[in-house]
Amino acid sequence: MKEDNELLRIEGLTKVFSLGSVFSRIRIVAVNNVSFGINSPEIFTLAGESGSGKTTVARIILGFIEPTKGRIFYRGKNITNLKDIEARNLFRKEVQAIFQNPFETFNPLRRVSDYLYETCWNFNVSRNRNEIDRIIDEALKAVGLSLEEVRDKYPGEFSGGQLQRISVARALITKPQLLIADEPVSMVDASLRMSIVNLFKELKERNNVSVIYITHDLATAYYVSDRIAIMFRGEIVETGPVERVLMEPKHPYTMLLKESIPEPDPKMKWQETIRLMASEEEEYLMKGCKFAGRCPYVMDICRKEVPDDTVVDGIIVKCYLYTSKSEKTTV
């Protein structure tokens, strides 16, 4: 389903890691046939537990890892394994990222402002000293800081929340079209998270920037995003508008995730106990649907074959519960 203002499209992305020695190799399929599209502008959440493959997807999009299979289209152009240096530079200018650990984002032995200057310089945003200062100051003001506060200081002199904001400022200097935010608030104090999450909202509404918001925190995902894709053990199991997916989850895993969120409301405590898998590896290596081991609705076919994507009421689900109900569609 391609739309006219589609910014990014991922098709059949797969990444297989081989571990072990010459004699015994284990193949871990970290990302399995993942497909989705990002419109402009929109905030798209890629949600899942740690180890679900979401960071790997981000790294593949950013070009840090090469995919085993699959294609990536940016603005309609195929950029998978892009070798042309000019095209790569253009891509980097338009697609920026921020990461989970604000204390690791910057080299502790370098000044934080150096990165801001370098971004300006390397992408030819400006080469004039004074203009660079102005641009950086503007970017910092957009995140609630200023060049004066930040100049000549090292990462150790800032708090996690401030560093994360500086990281966003750096990513905005090249006026990107797409921002990939990998767990941007999970290491920031709960009391400060919303100010960063609100930034993403502003970026979309005021500057038409799209954001891929990667997280395991469904509450902030609900708050900030338009659409959401739920990842489980390397596969996307449900995609759709965030209200529908999180308020009326279709896939049993999404249901489990939603129930497990600790509601900050003492009247809504968890009711039942749940089962955990003893080992993650077991689940990764399962044939068929990877959730079959814990699914309360499991059927025989679930253990044998991986279900296809089905469309139900505008939501894409990967589950045998729905295959007979609606038309089968490959996306």
Partner 1 sequence: MTILKAENLNSFYILDILGIKQSVMAVNGVSIEIKENEIYGIAGESGCGKTTLIKTIYGMIEPPLNVMEGRVLYNIDGKLVDIFSLDEEELRGLRWEYISYIPQGSMSVLNPVTKISDSFWDFIKAHSNYKDKLEVENSIKEHLNAVGLPLKVLNAYPHQLSGGMRQRVTIALATILKPKIIIADEPSTALDVVAQRAIIQLLKNIQQTQKNTIVIVTHDMGVHANISDRIAIMYAGKIIEEAKTEEIFENPLHPYTKYLIKSLPKIGDKSYKVSVPGLPPSLINPPPGCKFHPRCDSFKPECKQIEPQLIEISKEHKVACLLYSKEMGQ
Partner 2 sequence: MNLLKDLLRDGKFKFGFITLCILLFLVILSFFSPYKPTMWNVTPRDLPPSLKHIFGTNSQGQDIFWQTTFAIRNSLIIASIAALFSRIIAIIIGLVAGYRGGRMDRVLMSINDSFLVLPLFPILILVSTLIKGRLSFVSLGLILGVFGWAWDARVIRSQILSLREREFTFTAILSGSKTLHLVFKEYLPFVIPIIFSTIINNMSWAIGMEITLAILGLTNLEIPTLGTMLHWAISYQAMLLGLWWWLLTPVVISVFLFVSLYLLSVSISEYLDPRTRIQRIGIAKE
Q: Pick one of 3, 66, 84, 104: the residue that binds partner 2 (CB under 8 A).
A: 104
User: How far are the Cα atoms of 95, 107, 190, 211 from residue 202, in angstroms, in the given order?
Assistant: 17, 28, 20, 11
> Which of the choices partner 2, partner 1, none does residue 149 contact, using the CB cut-off of 5 to 8 A by kind?
none
Here's the x/- map for partner 2, 155-194, by CB under 8 A: it reads as -xx---------x--xx-----------------------
Q: Which regions of 195-314 does DSSP assign to beta strands (E)?
A: 210-215, 227-232, 235-241, 310-312
Tokens describing residue 133? 């200062």
Q: Which of residues 116-145 bind partner 2 (CB under 8 A)?
A: 118-119, 121-123
Q: Is 107 in the site for partner 2 (CB under 8 A)?
A: yes
Amino acid at 31: V
Which residues are 77's β-sheet partners?
74
CA angle 77, 62, 84 (to 5 degrees): 50
| Nearest-approach distance from CB 100 to partner 1, in angstroms | 12
DSSP-derived pairing of the beta strands 6-20 and 210-215: unpaired
> Which of the choices partner 1, partner 2, none does residue 291 contact, using the CB cut-off of 5 to 8 A by kind?
none
Name which of 49 and 138 has its Cβ closer to partner 1.
Answer: 49
| Nearest-approach distance from CB 231 to partner 1, in angstroms | 12
Q: Is 164 in the site for partner 1 (CB under 8 A)?
A: no
Q: Is 56 in the site for partner 2 (CB under 8 A)?
A: no
Q: Pick one of 5, 17, 77, 110: the residue that binds partner 2 (CB under 8 A).
A: 110
Helix (H, G, I), strand (E, B) or coil at 73: strand
Q: Do the beta carbons of residue 10 and residue 36 sit within 8 Å?
A: yes
CA–CA distance, 47 with 55 (Å, rounded to integer): 10
Q: Is 274 in the site for partner 1 (CB under 8 A)?
A: yes
Tokens describing residue 190? 């709960």
| Nearest-approach distance from CB 87 to partner 2, in angstroms | 14
Q: Is 220 in the site for partner 1 (CB under 8 A)?
A: yes
Q: Which residue has the tokens 């998270």?
A: 193
33-41, 93-101, 248-256, 288-296 -> range binding partner 2 (CB under 8 A): 93-101
CA–CA distance, 211 with 56 (Å, rounded to integer): 17
Helix (H, G, I), strand (E, B) or coil at 59: helix
| Nearest-approach distance from CB 241 to partner 1, in angstroms | 12
Here's the x/- map for partner 1, 25-54, by CB under 8 A: it reads as ------------------------xxx---
Name which of 97 and 199 has its Cβ closer to partner 2.
Answer: 97
User: How far are the Cα atoms of 112, 261, 292 from residue 137, in angstroms, in the given order?
Assistant: 13, 39, 52
Q: Is 194 in the site for partner 1 (CB under 8 A)?
A: yes
Q: Which of residues 197-216 bind partner 1 (CB under 8 A)?
A: 197-198, 216
Q: Is 296 in the site for partner 1 (CB under 8 A)?
A: no
Q: Do the beta carbons of residue 188 and residue 98 sit within 8 Å?
A: no
Radius of gyration, CA atoms only, the chain: 21
> Which of the choices partner 1, partner 2, none does residue 308 contact, using the CB cut-off of 5 to 8 A by kind?
none
For 15, phi then psi, to 5°, come to -140, 125
CA angle 236, 58, 307 (to 5 degrees): 15
CA–CA distance, 219 with 265 (Å, rounded to integer): 13
| Positions that interact with partner 2 (CB under 8 A) | 62, 64, 89, 92, 96-97, 99-101, 104-110, 114-115, 118-119, 121-123, 153-154, 156-157, 167, 170-171
| Positions that interact with partner 1 (CB under 8 A) | 49-51, 159-162, 189-195, 197-198, 216-220, 222-223, 246-247, 256-270, 273-274, 276-281
